Amino acid sequence: MTGSAADADGLRAYPTADGSFSLESERFGEAFHSSAGALNEARAKFSRPAELDRWQRDDRLRILDVCVGLGYNTAVILNELPDVAPAVQWWGLELDRRPLQLALEQPTFRALWKPGVLQRLEAIQVNDGWNDLTNIGRQLWGDARTMLAKIPEQQRFDLILQDAFSPQRCPELWTEEFLTDISARLAPGGRLLTYTRSAAVRASLQRAGLQLHSLLPAPGERIGWSSGTMAVKPGGPCAAEGPGWRPLSPMEREHLFTRAAVPFRDPDGIASSSEILRRRVLEQQACGLEPTNTWKRRWRGDAAVQAR
């Protein structure tokens, strides 16, 4: 696949700022990664705030990758584990087999990973996962809303990597219901990591009992008032500030009381994105919360300060 070619069903390769291979989707009208680059983003939003050095040889690291795509988030995490790594229990949710397949056809993508990590990615593609002694990986292909229920009820996760397309493009994976369901899968002290700073998503995660933190930008990313969210299940250690995160600023806390915080809803787990967006607009019109533009105007000029 070249930089200008699109395949039959609208996945197009594009160069990212750090030179790593990525795609954009015609169907969702969005790129898979930010302009900072796929690799930079996977590190800043997922592996760095995961604090992987918390896991040692005899531990068990349980990961749920929501929207595996090209596999960057999982690959970065596996790649950065020490050579004497913990046992890994991995589950992946993804609708489309092609992004990972297209990535694995790229020599530049393959060259990024240790041989053992590349083997895992290939196993996801070819065998829907792996199973060797203490390490298991299970890829579930299909709509994440329904496939989540196929993960055994008792399975809990230390890390959930939530990397769906943005809430306006793929609201079905940012609803109150879906976020409640994945949050329930976190182990005590478990971390849900995502690039989004959406107030609707944050408010849903907070109602699901998680504690919110703000992610710091990836190298090369435009500095704004936040670069994502880490939501932590109480019951395990997590400092207010750490590698790649800080507490929510006053500006961000106020954001949670504006119309932007009205959640996306999908009570039956089968609504289309347009139904979910329509329902939310109606709820926003009736909600009586502060208009988001008023909040924006109040904080104009302070965003750079808040982002520090």
Ligand X SMILES: C[S@@+](CC[C@H](N)C(=O)[O-])C[C@H]1O[C@@H](n2cnc3c(N)ncnc32)[C@H](O)[C@@H]1O
Residues in contact with ligand X by CB under 6 A are: 32, 42, 67-73, 93-96, 99, 143-144, 163-165, 170, 172-173
Residue 166 or 292: the one with the smaller Cβ distance to ligand X is: 166
Beta carbon of residue 43, minimum distance to ligand X (angstroms, whole number): 11
Residues 6+ away with beta carbon under 8 Å from 203: 256, 261, 263
Residue 33 or 259: the one with the smaller Cβ distance to ligand X is: 33
Task: Return phi, psi of residue 103, to 5°.
Answer: -65, -45
Residue 96 or 275: the one with the smaller Cβ distance to ligand X is: 96
Residue 101 or 134: the one with the smaller Cβ distance to ligand X is: 101
Torsion angle of alpha carbons 126, 29, 160, 254, nearest 10°?
A: 180
Residue 173 or 186: the one with the smaller Cβ distance to ligand X is: 173
Residues 6+ away with beta carbon under 8 Å from 139: 68, 91, 92, 94, 124, 128, 129
Beta carbon of residue 131, minimum distance to ligand X (angstroms, whole number): 22
Beta carbon of residue 57, minimum distance to ligand X (angstroms, whole number): 27
Specify the residue for token string 């703000």. 214
Query: 255 pairs with which residues across the strands?
Result: none
Beta carbon of residue 215, minimum distance to ligand X (angstroms, whole number): 15
N- to C-terminal Cα separation, the chain? 39
Specify the residue for token string 């907070």. 206
Beta carbon of residue 275, minimum distance to ligand X (angstroms, whole number): 14
Interatomic CA distance for residues 21 and 42, integer angstroms: 13
Nearest residue to ligand X by CB is: 69
Residue 135 or 273: the one with the smaller Cβ distance to ligand X is: 273
User: Environment class of residue 267 by beta-carbon count within 10 Å: exposed (0-12), middle (13-18) or buried (19+)?
Assistant: exposed
Beta carbon of residue 73, minimum distance to ligand X (angstroms, whole number): 5
Percent of the chain that is helix, strand, coil (3-state, to 5): 35, 25, 40
